[in-house]
Chains A and B, each alone.
Chain A
């Protein structure tokens, strides 16, 4: 996410070995060059950054155990000097001090304002990590990248000599690999050190760095030493595990401004602002005005402030962020979303400080996962435990209404259903039975507050008997069964629903879900084709959807009389209306087999990725739960591995005949 320039000097590639016993030569060398040396040292039970006099001040043999809201120093089994991660201090304390006089004014005789000239004596930062360099570079963009600049920051930053250290361990709150900032240091340093057994592999990243290194008692590292240095850093990446799915996090968050979780996390947050104080990139400040009693001389100090402050967004007559949830949302969305708009990168480098130093242990990683969940890479298994899961057992439901859709198709509304059905997901189906009739699989076409709809076409005995039922009749149900439409997978994308004929039935619940959450998607559209206007299902719903701004609806029929004013032709003919970037489309397709194949072909040729096309397959089913063997499709049981599949899961099974 954050790209740091590669070291620009050819000399940087040359490596040296500095024995641990000779580390003091580096500190002395930096001090001799006229620099105040700031580095890690143990104070108040933590490793903080402070002025150090010699290598003896460094935290050799210590490391830090960190988790949300907790930090403890522990003894290492070895004498590594930099075998910890990052502590409560960040380097911004020295480049962007917490309190800074920025102006003074007087009206004694004359009247004027004075600005202090930046006073930034040379300093060396020792032990700067990859994420910390990224943070300094983010603040470079904040303070120096725009039209107006912070000259005090510029002076302090320019006077800072950077001795970077590769991480050889990570803590429980580190997530630099997720933010693309570490663990490897790639640039932005004067000297880079990697700690291995007995010493450091060192190299210079600038002429100033090379001048310091030249005076150190070094030798060339052995092949093994150079290799060990690489392995140490590599092992940290492994230690940290799978990176969090951060792709598109800025957009994902923007879609979630009304997520209920904001209020939940705000209930826990005590708004202490510790996160923003500890964060190495947060840059907000306020001014504090002091004067003598006559008001003739005054000074203006700039102080770190925090958007968690109740007064932060107040104006006379109102408060733009009056609720705690507004303030928590400001923090999280600024770090991970709106920062991109302002400064072209994330405002988070994954250092984990805000997690460790939050006294109520709020973890931004967890909040992001809930508020802006990643795009699910696979269709998840059944969400709810189905009821009556053995072939002979049924849960009883009552028919509340029967609504004719077409000449041969009716929708049954069932009530008194087991709550498991209400918790089902669009795309799932039930096995429905009447005494004396074999059970048949029917998709749930709609979820209601206290029931479900099944839309059934009378094609044979059971389906005919079902469509002939009257309100009050009882039916037996098993389910909900099978996989469902991965709605979340389309968050932030164009959701395209393609339905043919009665295929709209298993898609109806999906369309409801898309419409209800339409702001989570880039766009929502439905392409619906049927043989004739009379074969259309859910005509009232089609009218409602057509009138809604939440979804674009395009309808076509194969043939129609002169009274039909709409499009005529196959559903794929509607695809020329697709104007958007098809790599950002997630499509959901159901219809007769031939129509599905043509639609999928059309979508693929427009550039929709195969893993973003979901289809629902139909096969003969008897049991619906993977026991009877009827529904097998090569290695898969359509009833339990499907019926919803992503195209790439099916591969060439999709088009193949005779499977």
Chain B
């Protein structure tokens, strides 16, 4: 490995697949920490910030976006070979993102509806998370990712400890913040119980239900939660939509969506 150890700055690359760039921008938005990050890491590949291109290997590769086009598959495999640590960032890379919704749709019809010249677009029938193609060492969830979690991850890599990124329900953050539960006190829909924390219950703090952008937590009981939402009188189509957000392709949300019916393209 070319660079590691205390003196040399770790080489960091940020790679982009099918995504909106929002997660990379989070890195640029880390105003307070940005200078320190730049001084401690050698950021060599970063489409959003620099046009400089340099070949691998890299110490850390952050991957944004889902695998959605045929050429992506080889690209991600090559990138994996160049990366000591590969971290996926954001809902697209970790769960397939909003593009993954087409995984339930008639692909051609979807493409025709979205693009003016569908015949020009070479796209895979599915948009899939990076982890379906290569081994992933860590992930940052969210759409976009949380700046605090990003700094924590970078810090942990530098210090050599386990990043303090927990997998608990958004409800837990919500309760610690003293927010009154929107589901119980107002009958609103919220994906907090099945969604992993990390955003510090951002949406409930702004008086709206979580839409699950951080994705399902491990062993989330999505089945019971969808049953609960249905029992509260919501039509299946609405419940399906709640699960079919940015992280709908991630299990166990995926199963709930499939169970509640196919999308109409």
Q: Do A and B bind each other?
A: yes
Q: Which residues of A contact B167 (CB under 8 A)?
A: 310-311
- Whether A463 is near chain B, meaning CB under 8 Å from some CB there, is no
- Whether B51 is near chain A, meaning CB under 8 Å from some CB there, is no
CB distance from A98 to the nearest CB of B (A): 4
Which residue of chain B lies nearest to A44 when distances are taken between CB atoms in the complex?
B180
CB distance from A293 to the nearest CB of B (A): 5
Report whether A271 and B169 are in contact in the complex, using a CB–CB cutoff of 8 Å: yes
User: What CA separation (Å) do A464 and B35 show in the bound complex?
Assistant: 102
User: What CA separation (Å) do A324 and B217 show in the bound complex?
Assistant: 14
Q: Which of these binds chain A: B15-23, B122-130, B184-192?
A: B184-192
CB distance from B42 to the nearest CB of A (A): 14
Chain A, 351-369, contact with B by CB distance < 8 Å: what is the 0/1 string? 0000011011100000000
Q: Which residues of B contact A43 (CB under 8 A)?
A: 180
- Whether B154 is near chain A, meaning CB under 8 Å from some CB there, is yes
- Whether B36 is near chain A, meaning CB under 8 Å from some CB there, is yes
Chain B, 5-40, contact with A by CB distance < 8 Å: what is the 0/1 string? 000000000000000000000000000010011001
- Whether B255 is near chain A, meaning CB under 8 Å from some CB there, is no
Report whether A293 and B40 are in contact in the complex, using a CB–CB cutoff of 8 Å: yes
Report whether A274 and B175 are in contact in the complex, using a CB–CB cutoff of 8 Å: yes
Q: Which of these binds chain A: B96-104, B218-226, B234-242?
A: B218-226
Q: Which residues of A contact B37 (CB under 8 A)?
A: 293
- Whether A575 is near chain B, meaning CB under 8 Å from some CB there, is no
Chain B, 154-195, contact with A by CB distance < 8 Å: what is the 0/1 string? 110011110010111101100111111101111100101110
> Which one of A288, A310, A311 has the highest number of Cβ atoms from chain B below 10 Å of its Cβ?
A310
Known: A272-B193, A294-B158, A359-B183. A288 touches B164 (CB 8 A): yes
Interface size on A, residues (CB 8 A): 45
Report whether A295 and B181 are in contact in the complex, using a CB–CB cutoff of 8 Å: no
Report whether B161 and A44 are in contact in the complex, using a CB–CB cutoff of 8 Å: no
- Whether B228 is near chain A, meaning CB under 8 Å from some CB there, is yes
Interface size on B, residues (CB 8 A): 45
User: What CA separation (Å) do A83 and B221 show in the bound complex?
Assistant: 37
Which residue of chain A lies nearest to B232 when distances are taken between CB atoms in the complex?
A69
Q: Which residues of A contact B187 (CB under 8 A)?
A: 70
- Whether B207 is near chain A, meaning CB under 8 Å from some CB there, is yes
User: What CA separation (Å) do A310 and B166 show in the bound complex?
Assistant: 10
Chain A, 290-315, contact with B by CB distance < 8 Å: what is the 0/1 string? 11111100000001101001110000
Q: Which of A45, A88, A304, A360 contacts B228 (CB 8 A)?
A: A360
Q: Which residues of A contact B251 (CB under 8 A)?
A: none
Which residue of chain B lies nearest to A64 when distances are taken between CB atoms in the complex?
B185
- Whether A71 is near chain B, meaning CB under 8 Å from some CB there, is yes
- From 54 to 103 in chain A, residues with beta carbon under 8 angstroms from any chain B beta carbon are 69-73, 88-89, 93, 98-99
User: What CA separation (Å) do A294 and B156 show in the bound complex?
Assistant: 9
- From 192 to 233 in chain B, residues with beta carbon under 8 angstroms from any chain A beta carbon are 192-194, 207, 217-221, 223-225, 227-228
- Whether A502 is near chain B, meaning CB under 8 Å from some CB there, is no
- Whether A268 is near chain B, meaning CB under 8 Å from some CB there, is yes
Report whether B181 and A273 are in contact in the complex, using a CB–CB cutoff of 8 Å: no
Report whether B181 and A357 are in contact in the complex, using a CB–CB cutoff of 8 Å: yes
User: What CA separation (Å) do A99 and B194 show in the bound complex?
Assistant: 22
Q: Which residues of B contact A370 (CB under 8 A)?
A: none
Report whether B221 and A71 are in contact in the complex, using a CB–CB cutoff of 8 Å: no
User: What CA separation (Å) do A292 and B39 show in the bound complex?
Assistant: 14
Known: A70-B184, A293-B36. A270 touches B193 (CB 8 A): yes
User: What CA separation (Å) do A361 and B37 show in the bound complex?
Assistant: 46
- From 253 to 302 in chain A, residues with beta carbon under 8 angstroms from any chain B beta carbon are 267-274, 277-278, 288-295
Report whether A277 and B159 are in contact in the complex, using a CB–CB cutoff of 8 Å: no
- Whether A48 is near chain B, meaning CB under 8 Å from some CB there, is yes
- Whether A46 is near chain B, meaning CB under 8 Å from some CB there, is yes
CB distance from A27 to the nearest CB of B (A): 21
Q: Which residues of B contact A360 (CB under 8 A)?
A: 193, 224-225, 228
Q: Which of B164, B183, B221, B223 contacts A271 (CB 8 A)?
A: B221
Q: Which residues of B contact A99 (CB under 8 A)?
A: 176
Q: Which of B33, B184, B219 contacts A69 (CB 8 A)?
A: B184
Report whether A44 and B185 are in contact in the complex, using a CB–CB cutoff of 8 Å: yes
Q: Which residues of B contact A361 (CB under 8 A)?
A: 228
Q: Which residues of A contact B160 (CB under 8 A)?
A: 295
Known: A291-B155, A293-B40. A311 touches B166 (CB 8 A): yes
Q: Which residues of B contact A44 (CB under 8 A)?
A: 179-180, 185, 207
Report whether A274 and B155 are in contact in the complex, using a CB–CB cutoff of 8 Å: no
Q: Which residues of B contact A295 (CB under 8 A)?
A: 155, 158-161
Q: Which residues of A contact B164 (CB under 8 A)?
A: 288-290
Report whether A270 and B224 are in contact in the complex, using a CB–CB cutoff of 8 Å: yes
User: What CA separation (Å) do A304 and B219 show in the bound complex?
Assistant: 21
Q: Which residues of A contact B36 (CB under 8 A)?
A: 293
Report whether B166 and A93 are in contact in the complex, using a CB–CB cutoff of 8 Å: no
User: What CA separation (Å) do A48 and B221 show in the bound complex?
Assistant: 29
The 5 A-B pairs with the shortest beta carbon distances in the complex, nearest first, are A295-B159, A277-B175, A98-B176, A44-B180, A272-B193
Other 9 A-B pairs with CB < 8 A, given A270-B169, A272-B171, A306-B168:
A46-B180, A48-B180, A88-B181, A98-B175, A269-B224, A277-B176, A289-B161, A290-B152, A293-B154
| Interchain residue pairs with CB less than 8 A apart (7) | A88-B178, A273-B169, A277-B176, A311-B167, A359-B181, A360-B193, A360-B224
